[in-house]
Amino acid sequence: MEFDLSKLVRENIKGLLPYSSARGEFGGDAEIFLDANENAFGSPLSADYSRYPDPLQTLIKGKLANAVGVSAANIFVGNGSDEAIDLLIRIFCRPGIDNILICPPTYGMYEVSANINDIKVKRADLCLDYELDLESIGNTIDEATKLIFLCSPNNPTGNSLKRNSILKIAELFCGIVIVDEAYVHFSERESLIPEIKTHPNIVVLQTFSKAWGLAGLRVGKAFANAPVIDLMNRVKPPYNVSHIAQKMILEAFENRSVVEARIAEIVKMRGELAGSLAELSFVDTVYPSEANFLLVKMTNPNKIYDLLLIENIVVRNRSTITLCEGCLRITIGTPDENATLIKALRKYEKGFVH
Ligand SMILES: *Cc1c(COP(=O)(O)O)cnc(C)c1O
């Protein structure tokens, strides 16, 4: 079967007349704007936020298009990549009828978003080496499977998925393949964004929350063929990214060298922290990571999790998750934070030995 976008989209979305916002209808320059029921007297703040923001984030898309080498029509900007995940589910999946496929262990939002929308979740677990199980994926999808979510580098395992496996899935599957690259900036691998030119069913998600250090602004991005992006724009709330978030993102683009330097530093410390963790007697495996965290298998993860809390350090307990038995997920911190973590773990190690 061939990929056919118009067959894949829900009927109600295909015929949707989107909300026409004031700023969407008239985006030009004028002196007096009396079209959006804003407050012409301004904000009770030192800066003015009285006007609605650009609904299509034109300036940000211009910067991204330049940086990434695609056109603005290939870019969606949203309230975190979580908004893109939810939109894709709502555009393509009929509640109570369709399903999505995920490859556990992976990011939790795909399943939560599906559950909220009454969409069934099918699972094809990763192999023991955390690579995709192509055979299991092929056996698990059915004609109601609309979306396959792949996360690369994967959260919480930290590894990138094989590019060829992802492309093979995109070529054989006639639904949408979403490649979540939230951590790609910490990896040596190339992004799959260039593949959207030859694969009309690939959507690549990235975010400003991790490598860019802007999680609090809530800005994520999706890259895909223009018709898919157009659907996302039609379904999203008209003003989904606030004025202040857009302004701060543009400012961050001016400081890209800081971002690059911090990525390099985090990658370096990832190696150092992995080394220190591996030396601890109770640590069984520090999995190779291409992200800004380490998945660490150990004896007694729950006890260590609690001990770290007493030391005022909180990590993520993943020990009950499929294929992550015994594992904690630890984000790379500052050099001081990493040193404090290792000190706390050595303290535990001594108490444990005696
Ligand atoms: C952190 C993370 C995101 C980011 O979500 P935002 O809504 O953009 O903050 C997306 N995907 C994965 C796998 C993540 O770990």
Q: Tell me: the pLDDT tens digits for 126-165?
A: 999 999 999 999 999 999 999 999 999 999 999 999 999 9
Sign of CA dihedral 94, 96, 102, 106: positive
Q: Is the CB of 86 under 6 A from ligand 1?
A: no
Please report, in tens digits, the pLDDT of each residue of the chain (354 residues total).
689 999 999 999 998 988 888 887 887 888 999 999 999 999 999 999 999 999 999 999 999 999 999 999 999 999 999 999 999 999 999 999 999 999 999 999 999 999 999 999 999 999 999 999 999 999 999 999 999 999 999 999 999 999 999 999 999 999 999 999 999 999 999 999 999 999 999 999 999 999 999 999 999 999 999 999 999 999 999 999 999 999 999 999 999 999 999 999 999 999 999 999 999 999 999 999 999 999 999 999 999 999 999 999 999 999 999 999 999 999 999 999 999 999 999 998 887 543
Half-sphere exposure of residue 276, counting CA atoms within 13 Å on the CB side?
19
- Cα–Cα distance between 203 and 179 in angstroms, integer? 6
Who's near 185: CB < 8 A, 6+ residues apart? 210, 211, 212, 263
Structure tokens at 212: 């860019």
Q: What is the three-class DSSP state of 307?
A: helix
Cis peptide before 153 (omega within 30 of 0): yes
Mutate to test the pocket of ligand 1, among 152, 183, 209, 292 (most ligand atoms within 8 A of CB): 209
Q: Is the CB of 317 under 6 A from ligand 1?
A: no
Structure tokens at 5: 């976008």
Burial class (CB in 10 A: 0-12, 13-18, 19+), 275: exposed
pLDDT at 352: 54
- Cα–Cα distance between 145 and 138 in angstroms, integer? 11
pTM above 0.95, yes or no: yes
Who's near 167: CB < 8 A, 6+ residues apart? 195, 199
Q: What is the mean pLDDT of the chain?
A: 96
pLDDT at 11: 97
Can you list the positions of beta strands (E) in the chain? Answer: 75-78, 99-102, 120-123, 145-151, 176-180, 202-207, 220-223, 283-286, 293-298, 316-317, 327-331
Structure tokens at 179: 């490649």
Mutate to test the pocket of ligand 1, among 82, 151, 219, 331 (most ligand atoms within 8 A of CB): 82
pLDDT at 353: 43
- Return the C-alpha torsion angle 344, 349, 350, 351, nearest 10: 90
Q: Is the CB of 113 under 6 A from ligand 1?
A: no
- Kindly state the DSSP code that residue 294 receives in the 8-state scheme: E
The residue whose CA has the least distance to atom 12 of ligand 1 is 182
274-299 pLDDT, tens per residue? 999 999 999 999 999 999 999 999 99
Half-sphere exposure of residue 131, counting CA atoms within 13 Å on the CB side?
8
The residue whose CA has the least distance to atom 11 of ligand 1 is 182
- Kindly state the DSSP code that residue 21 receives in the 8-state scheme: -
| H helices present in 71-224, as ranges | 81-92, 109-116, 134-140, 163-172
Atom of ligand 1 nearest to the CA of 154: 13
Q: Is the CB of 81 under 6 A from ligand 1?
A: yes
Atom of ligand 1 nearest to the CA of 81: 8
Q: Is the CB of 220 under 6 A from ligand 1?
A: yes
